[in-house]
Structure 1
Amino acid sequence: MTGTSNTQATLKVTTDAWEALFRAQVAVMRQITTMPEFAKLSLREYDVLFNLRHAPENETRLVDLNKHLLISQPSLSRMITRLEERGLVSRCTDPTDQRASRLKLTEAGLSMQQEIGRAHVKQLHLLLGEAMSEEEFIELQRLSTKLHNAVE
């Protein structure tokens, strides 16, 4: 199953596969958003903390963070202001570009991201762990990464 073919997929096969992947994600996200941990932060706010957590030194420019999110830049700026008011992120001027902002995950933000993240991965495993074999999950990761790289 790990072999590749040079034959381009048909329109129907491409669309059907995308729809199946999208529907699977919607079903999982509906379950995840009911977790009590997401009463503390919205899923989009958690996504911001998650992406900051995985940035070098838990810090990145606003414009670079926005590349990883499904949210407009003005909406992200408003969200960052709310997260800043809660003490979860801090904002400062980028020393290399005075027009840009740098965002940093605070200790409180890191703690909240880790707390929700631990519950999140456990819930994902409960929801999905028996759906496929380990080899199938590895193949799904490989294929998903291949799709991501093709789009990027």
Structure 2
Amino acid sequence: MRWLDADEERAWRALRRMMIAIQSRTAHDLAAAGLSEPDYEVLSTLSERPGHASTLGEQAAKMGWSRSRLSRHATRMEARGLVRREPDPDDGRGCYLVLTEHGLRTLEDAAPAHLESVRRHVIDRLSSADLSALERIARKLEEPT
């Protein structure tokens, strides 16, 4: 077993505290709009797709989720009228996840406050050099080992 040295331990703990703090703050702000972070992620990524639709598998891959996680979450979002499922004509077992008009309006209503939250808690607190370093580090750490 390789224990963390003092510098590694400080960096690891700082990363964990940062991730928890930012997620907590932005989630709290987003909840005021009636959405969870996963709701917002589904709505925003669907809004970027042609026709505001994606197969369940493509959408799960884009979000870094398992198909089963997305399917369960989509069921809850369907009940709220934010998304709907449509059969995939090319795959009898598959379906498309489609952003509804209500889902699009909900996203459009929530987006300004969410963007302000992201700016307040992250973007506006960092220099452009910090943002570049953060992006570089984040891309490196999101790659599988």
After TM superposition, is the score higher than 0.5? yes
Identity fraction in percent: 30
Task: State the distance in 2 between where 1:137 and 1:53 align.
Answer: 25
**Range with bigger deviation, 126-135 or 92-101:** 126-135
Residues 51-90 of structure 1 mapped to structure 2, 5 A cutoff: 51-67=45-61, 68-70=63-65, 73=68, 75-90=69-84
Q: Say which structure is richer in helix.
A: 2
TM-score scaled by length of structure 2: 0.77
Aligned residues: 141
Q: 2:84–2:97: 8 Å Cα contact kept in structure 1?
A: yes
Check 1:144–1:56 CA distance in 2 against 1; reply closer, same or farther (3 A cut): farther
Quote the residue 2:44 is aligned against.
Answer: 50
Quote the residue 1:34 is aligned against.
Answer: 28
Q: Which amino acid aligns with 1:132?
A: L
* 2:137 is aligned with 1:135: no
Unaligned runs of 5+ in 2: none
Quote the residue 2:15 is aligned against.
Answer: 21
Q: Which amino acid aligns with 1:81?
A: T
Task: State the distance in 2 between where 1:115 and 1:77 align.
Answer: 24
TM-score scaled by length of structure 1: 0.74
Shift of 1:60: 1.1
| CA displacement 1:23-78 (0-9 Å, x = unmatched) | 212101111222265451222222221221233432111122223245671x4323
Unaligned runs of 5+ in 1: 1-9
